């Protein structure tokens, strides 16, 4: 199923959610991914939760939907994705018990080009990411109480201290990173064992997959995120700062 909408459930107050995040973080310091997801299922339920997914692999939607069937999976449809990424999105929609929510920027690529000039990603990638990823995600997250991300500590030094559960001040909801302690090999093992959809680019040197103009393959053993904005100082799109 595809949608650009948001759920309409009654939201608890930011103070209540912030307190819940603190309690969960204290309770689940060294918990497994499944224990973290079970905590969300007990305290929120599927209606209040969203799963962010880049469609590099579907391990996060798979693990979450086992406890929260019907959960929304947010796909940031920037207009710049590889064809393989759209194919993987289709596989996830077809094979997993989730609802895909296509999160769209306010402007199409053509409209953005008319306003800012073509190839904004090459001249001002921070603005391009803000317009096509960060702002649209912020808007859609306002309809939820908790969101899951696939951020892992082994992806980059900037992610080494990623907590399992935290309060997301910028977006005003609980942020859960159940795979924080997993390695890239753990992801591949889980995907193979459970027959989870994986973007075919992963086997072609792309351990981290974003928009096509800003993603290059990396050599074996290199920083998995070194192929993102490879010729620029930028290392993060801004979703997880
Ligand atoms: Fe734009 Fe590149 Fe960011 Fe995609 S990753 S939104 S193309 S700057």
- Domains for the chain: give ranges and CATH numbers: 14-214 (3.40.50.620)
The pLDDT assigned to 216 comes to 87
Mutate to test the pocket of ligand 1, among 131, 133, 135 (most ligand atoms within 8 A of CB): 133
- Range list of H helices, 124-197: 125-129, 135-141, 184-194
CB 167 within 8 A of CB 15: no
Dist. CA 80–CA 211, nearest whole Å: 5
Burial of 106 (0-12, 13-18, 19+ CB in 10 A): exposed
Question: Is 53 annotated as catalytic?
Answer: no
The pLDDT assigned to 198 comes to 96
Give distance in angstroms: CA of 201 to centre of ligand 1: 18
Asked whether residue 53 is marked as a ligand-binding residue, the answer is no
Mutate to test the pocket of ligand 1, among 75, 116, 121 (most ligand atoms within 8 A of CB): 121
Dist. CA 113–CA 127, nearest whole Å: 13
For residue 111, the SS3 value is helix
Sign of CA dihedral 186, 238, 56, 100: positive
Summarize pLDDT for 106-140 with one digit per residue, the tens.
999 999 999 999 999 999 999 999 999 999 999 99
Whether ligand 1 lies within 6 angstroms of the CB of 131 is answered as no
Beta partners for residue 73, in sequence order: 51, 100
Dist. CA 26–CA 30, nearest whole Å: 10
- Report which of 54, 101, 89 is spatially closest to residue 206, judged by C-alpha positions: 54
Whether ligand 1 lies within 6 angstroms of the CB of 125 is answered as yes
pLDDT by position in tens, the chain (length 241): 444 444 545 899 999 999 999 999 999 988 999 999 999 999 999 999 999 999 999 999 999 999 999 999 999 999 999 999 999 999 999 999 999 999 999 999 999 999 999 999 999 999 999 999 999 999 999 999 999 999 999 888 889 999 999 999 999 999 999 999 999 899 999 999 999 999 999 999 888 899 999 998 887 777 766 766 566 665 666 676 6
- Report which of 166, 159, 131, 163 is spatially closest to residue 235, judged by C-alpha positions: 159
- Report which of 105, 94, 103, 100 is spatially closest to residue 71, judged by C-alpha positions: 100
Give distance in angstroms: CA of 44 to centre of ligand 1: 32
Which DSSP state fits 133? I
Summarize pLDDT for 139-151 with one digit per residue, the tens.
999 999 999 999 9
Tokens of 114: 């008319």
CB 79 within 8 A of CB 213: no
Roughly how many angstroms between the first and final C-alpha of the chain, as a whole number? 30
Q: Which of 28, 33, 100, 237 is catalytic?
A: 237
Give distance in angstroms: CA of 15 to centre of ligand 1: 33
The pLDDT assigned to 126 comes to 93
């Amino acid at each position: 199923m595809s949608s650009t909408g948001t759920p309409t459930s009654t939201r608890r107050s930011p103070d209540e959610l912030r307190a819940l995040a603190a309690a969960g973080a204290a309770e689940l310091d060294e918990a497994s991914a499944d224990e973290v997801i079970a905590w969300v299922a007990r305290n929120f339920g599927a209606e209040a939760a969203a799963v962010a997914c880049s469609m590099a692999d579907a391990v996060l939607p798979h693990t979450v939907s086992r406890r929260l069937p019907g959960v929304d999976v947010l796909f940031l449809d920037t207009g710049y994705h590889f064809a393989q990424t759209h194919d993987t999105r289709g596989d996830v929609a077809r094979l997993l018990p989730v609802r895909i929510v296509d999160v769209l920027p306010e402007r199409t690529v053509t409209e953005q080009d008319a306003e800012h000039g073509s190839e904004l990603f090459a001249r001002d990638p921070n603005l391009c990411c803000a317009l096509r990823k960060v702002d649209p995600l912020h808007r859609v997250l306002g309809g939820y109480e908790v969101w899951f991300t696939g951020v892992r500590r082994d992806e980059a030094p900037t992610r080494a201290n990623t907590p399992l559960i935290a309060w997301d001040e910028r977006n005003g909801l609980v942020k859960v990173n159940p795979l924080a302690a997993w390695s890239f090999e753990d992801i591949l093992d889980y995907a193979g064992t459970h027959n989870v959809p994986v973007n075919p680019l992963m086997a072609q040197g792309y351990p981290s997959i974003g928009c096509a103009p800003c993603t290059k393959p990396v050599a074996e053993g290199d920083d998995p995120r070194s192929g993102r904005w490879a010729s620029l100082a930028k290392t993060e799109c801004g979703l997880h700062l």
